Amino acid sequence: MLGKKWVNCYSRNMENCIFCKIIAGEIPCTKVYEDDVSFAFLDINPINLGHTLLIPKDHHENLHEIPENLLSRLMPPLKKLANAIKESVRADGINIGQNNGSAAGQVVYHYHVHIIPRFSGDGLKHWPGKPYLLDEAAEIAEKIKSHLS
């Protein structure tokens, strides 16, 4: 538990961002990796042991706001961490998760990637899928394509 001092640390403003405070050393964490642009630490409420968060050192609220050049610089440490986590905890697989907006489950408004080790029989379920209705897939694909410019 973070205590009363950090009750409002889930705000969208950088001054109250819990992850910015972790990077600055104002809030303790269990760091597992750091380089010039990224920082990784164990999640305090892990889905499975080894659940790690990778964040950029610069504050960006979500995927929609993070610059592409920074996003691309996060991919090599993401792969390195996923491999190290899988080996170290002998996981059967790895989930990579990234939530954008409260409807998607984002709680801390600083871009972050969850690296979650998975084990056969860990009891976690995957999201249920549902088929498209007739012609629905083509309509949605066209809508997406129209916004790719």
pLDDT per residue as tens digits for the range 89-137:
999 999 999 999 999 999 999 999 999 999 999 999 988 999 999 999 9
Lookup: tokens for 113: 């990637």
pTM: 0.89
What is the pLDDT of the chain when averaged over all its residues? 92
What CA–CA distance (Å, rounded) separates 63 from 10? 17
Backbone torsion region of residue 135, taken as left when φ is above 0, otherwise alpha when ψ lies between -120 and 50, otherwise beta = left
CATH number of 4-146: 3.30.428.10
Q: Calculate the CA dihedral of residues 37, 16, 42, 32 and round it to 10 degrees.
A: 30
Is 147 annotated in the active site?
Answer: no
**What backbone phi and psi angles, to 5 degrees, belong to 125?**
-105, 150
- Looking at 112, 114, 126, 147, which residue is catalytic? 112
CB atoms within 10 A of CB 122: 14
> Do 38 and 74 contact (CB within 8 A), yes or no?
yes
Q: What is the mean pLDDT of residues 59-78?
A: 97
pLDDT of residue 149: 77
Q: In 3D, which of 15, 13, 103, 22 has the Cα closest to residue 61?
A: 13
